[in-house]
Amino acid sequence: MFWFGNSQFPMKESFQQAIRYAIVEEGYRLIDTASIYDNEHFIGQTLQELFSEGIVKQEDLFIVTKLSWKEVFKVEEALQESLEKLQ
Enumerate the active-site residues: 37
48: enclosing H helix or E strand = helix 40-52
How many CB atoms sit inside 10 A of residue 8's CB? 9
Question: For residues 15 and 6, is the Cβ–Cβ distance under 8 A?
Answer: yes
